[in-house]
Structure 1
Amino acid sequence: MTHTDIQQVLDWAVAEVGIPGIVVEARDGDRSWFGSAGVADLRTGAPRQPGEHAQIGSGGKAFMAAVLLDMEAEGRLSIDDPVNRWLPGVLDVNGYDGDRITVRHLLSNTGGLYATGLAPELTSRYGTRAAFLKHRFDEYTTEDLFRMTVSQPPVAEPGERFLYANGGFYLAEAMIEKITGNSFAEEVERRVFRPLGLAHTYVRPAGELGYRDPHPRAYSNQFFQDGVDMASVTGENWPTLLEEPGLEPLDVTEFNTSWLPGNIVSTTSDMIRAVSALASGALLPPDQHREMWTTVSTEGADWLPHTRYGLGLFEFDKAVTGDQTLRGVGGSYWGTMFFTVSTADGEHAISVHTNIELKSWEVLRRIFEAGFGVSIGA
């Protein structure tokens, strides 16, 4: 590991990109390293530190997929079951067909669901600073999330192509709870957290608005200009509608995240442990591990560059990494960005957190290139 090079990237990210605080934890065999830059709290100047709790955002999708694959190994379901087998009628709305969309489609973002993260139901509540302050503590029920999932018509046929959609994972979570009779929190604790020794990872309880100590404050500049018609926001035009750069970030630490798939909080150390196990096959049986890493191209989907997507996780395209297989999870939303990547043998892993949303892909690219000693493309 080239720690000096990684530290230089962290310092650059704070000084030039405008990230309040950033941490990286890296493990290579039995060696580990922790680096940081910037602050955990802009008001007090408190530094970032190891062991901080933070929301992993869409990283929760990997845990959801792991639970369902473990259930498949037990014979509780097949990931090729149609959604209607377990949630009859939920998808038979607005042009969707729950007999044609499968569990595999949901977990691989290939079900043709539209980009739920851009749903007017979300963007109208959080899209501007004023709206965020008014709605930051709103609670979402399962029924609310189902309605949001199908509130816009399909954008592709089932299995046609990769299109990132949180809605598929709202359905996946509901399936877990219906089939087992337990909450997702109970099942992921029993099947993933406990076996992997993730002592600092938890599903955020209903109504919990902050984080367990230690934790950084969370800040955001991810807001649209006042007056933007949220119904007009698309995956292509949203960058042009953002507020002017240079405004002070808003403290968004206290935030009801009941709309996030999985709603999981973790630490860089725990995420290294989790992603290393999922990347290497240390958690799931061989058949389910192969299913998790049967990937589809994300090209043309306005998503992470140079990646393929499995079931809840991504893999960098070997066209840019060469012989090295790099697998990971990531999530970014208001006030947090959490990415963790591991080699396929689980021996070398790097976890990155910023207390602001993803500001630039270049930050991650430079860290992973320095840490893994490969090129992953611009």
Structure 2
Amino acid sequence: MTRKDIQQVLDWAVAEFGIPGIVAEVRDGDRTWFGTAGVADIETGARRQPGEYAHTGSGSKAFIAAVLLSLEAEGRLSIDDTVNKWLPGVLDVNGYDGDKITIRHLLSNTGGLFSTGLAPELTDRFATRSGFLQHRFDRFTTEDLLRMTVSQPPVAEPGERFEYSNGGFYVAEAIIEKVTGNSFAEEAERTVIRPLGLANTYVRPDHETGYREPHPRAYSTLFYKDGTDSAAVTPENWASMMEEPGLEPLDVTEFNTSWVPGNVISTTGDMIRVINALVDGTLLPPAQHREMWTTVSTEGGNWTPHTRYGLGVFEFEKAAVDGLTLRGVGGSYWGCLFYTVGTPDGHTVSIQTNTEWKSWDVLFKIVEAEFGVSIGA
């Protein structure tokens, strides 16, 4: 099983965008392939390797959704329950209405919540180099995250449109803990990690800031210019606020990510098992599987182009492989990008870079090389 076209894309990504290191793992039936370009460590020149631990970023949202759908299948809640049924008053702030926002809204990013990733509570701490160095080990409590979720007014009515927001998933995690009396980590272990045999996947405890071995170093240039007023940053103008290109990347490997919903650490191999089970319907019962993959348009909602969003998962709008929809999970933040996409017949590719998103062309070209489809065509 050779993947010359993908290898060329990996090499191109390092040369064109300055990505320190990138890996891609492919599984097609019982055949596998692993490719890499660049390095795991700029200082030592160590190469990237199979089985490296990395943060799944917003891929963790699929775990949150799967837990809640599993609880629904067990008869312990409905994803059409309102937030106020389980967390009375938590969203009744700043123009939000917890009697109108449901769990389904939270998981599909259609609750009208503002884009929490641009909240000053985060950007003031991490979005400049000096701020990151000062605050990289700050720890966020559940109360901090719920307060940040409603710190700015709604951007739409519940169900009106898609707007990508971490805040809905902070609330979703809190509902899991209220319903079960267990931590999200315990419920993710019970309903997803153990059933799928994910030996190299875990929810990072809030106090931890590093990774198990082996792992790449993580590097970032995702910083605003010094002096940027974070309150003036919007989903439309943020790119103009960024540092000038060409600056040396900052090593951000040790970083408290307690503000990342789910906070799941995994490997490309394990994430292939996750997306295979979510796509082919082997993890969830049929009713919950259909709910997970009932999708809405993401156009204008600050998310991956040419996609539709389900519950913690996405699918490409027009890219089908032999009539099969191409579906996945993924995300990016300081020092990390992790996307895994595949079809229901078990043909899957997982990619990870030890820096954040640089261009959608990296993801799209890998998908095109592996599946022979053009994204957005």
Verify same fold: TM over 0.5. yes
Residue aligned with 2:194, SS: helix
1:285 equivalent to 2:285? Answer yes
1:254 equivalent to 2:254? Answer yes
Q: Which moved more, 1:186-195 or 1:323-332?
A: 323-332
> Offset of 1:322 from its aligned partner?
7.7
**Cα separation, partners in 2 of 1:321 and 1:96, compared to 1, 3 Å:** farther
**Cα separation, partners in 2 of 1:321 and 1:163, compared to 1, 3 Å:** farther
Tell me which residue corresponds to 1:190.
190
| Inter-partner Cα distance in structure 1 for 2:58 and 2:364 | 19
> Offset of 1:321 from its aligned partner?
6.4
> Offset of 1:319 from its aligned partner?
6.4
CA contact (8 A) 1:320 1:377 kept: no
What is the letter of the counterpart of residue 370 of structure 1? A
Q: Structure 1: which 4+ aligned runs deviate by more than 6 Å?
A: 319-322
1:369 equivalent to 2:357? Answer no
CA contact (8 A) 1:60 1:263 kept: yes
Taking the TM superposition and a 5 Å limit, the aligned residue runs for 1:160-239 are 160-239=160-239
Tell me which residue corresponds to 1:99.
99
Number of aligned positions between the proteins: 377
Tell me which residue corresponds to 1:46.
46
| Inter-partner Cα distance in structure 1 for 2:227 and 2:299 | 32
Tell me which residue corresponds to 1:36.
36
What is the letter of the counterpart of residue 326 of structure 1? L
1:146 equivalent to 2:146? Answer yes
| Inter-partner Cα distance in structure 1 for 2:97 and 2:2 | 50
CA contact (8 A) 2:319 2:326 kept: no
> Offset of 1:92 from its aligned partner?
0.1
Tell me which residue corresponds to 2:331.
331
Tell me which residue corresponds to 2:356.
357
Matched-pair identity in %? 75
Tell me which residue corresponds to 1:296.
296
Gaps in structure 2 of 5+ consecutive residues: none
**Cα separation, partners in 2 of 1:99 and 1:158, compared to 1, 3 Å:** same
| Inter-partner Cα distance in structure 1 for 2:206 and 2:302 | 32
CA contact (8 A) 2:219 2:335 kept: yes
> Offset of 1:301 from its aligned partner?
1.8
What is the letter of the counterpart of residue 14 of structure 2? V
How much is the aligned-residue C-alpha RMSD, in angstroms? Answer: 1.1
| Inter-partner Cα distance in structure 1 for 2:108 and 2:336 | 23
CA contact (8 A) 2:320 2:326 kept: no
CA deviation map 1:290-340 (0-9, x unaligned): 000000011122321110000000000136768330110011000000000
| Inter-partner Cα distance in structure 2 for 1:172 and 1:138 | 22
CA contact (8 A) 1:2 1:371 kept: no
CA deviation map 1:198-218 (0-9, x unaligned): 000000013111100000000
CA deviation map 1:93-122 (0-9, x unaligned): 000000000000000000000000000000
| Inter-partner Cα distance in structure 2 for 1:211 and 1:61 | 19
TM-score (norm: length of structure 1): 0.98
**Cα separation, partners in 2 of 1:111 and 1:201, compared to 1, 3 Å:** same
Tell me which residue corresponds to 1:265.
265
> Offset of 1:2 from its aligned partner?
6.2
What is the letter of the counterpart of residue 377 of structure 1? G
What is the letter of the counterpart of residue 107 of structure 2? L
Gaps in structure 1 of 5+ consecutive residues: none
Tell me which residue corresponds to 2:117.
117
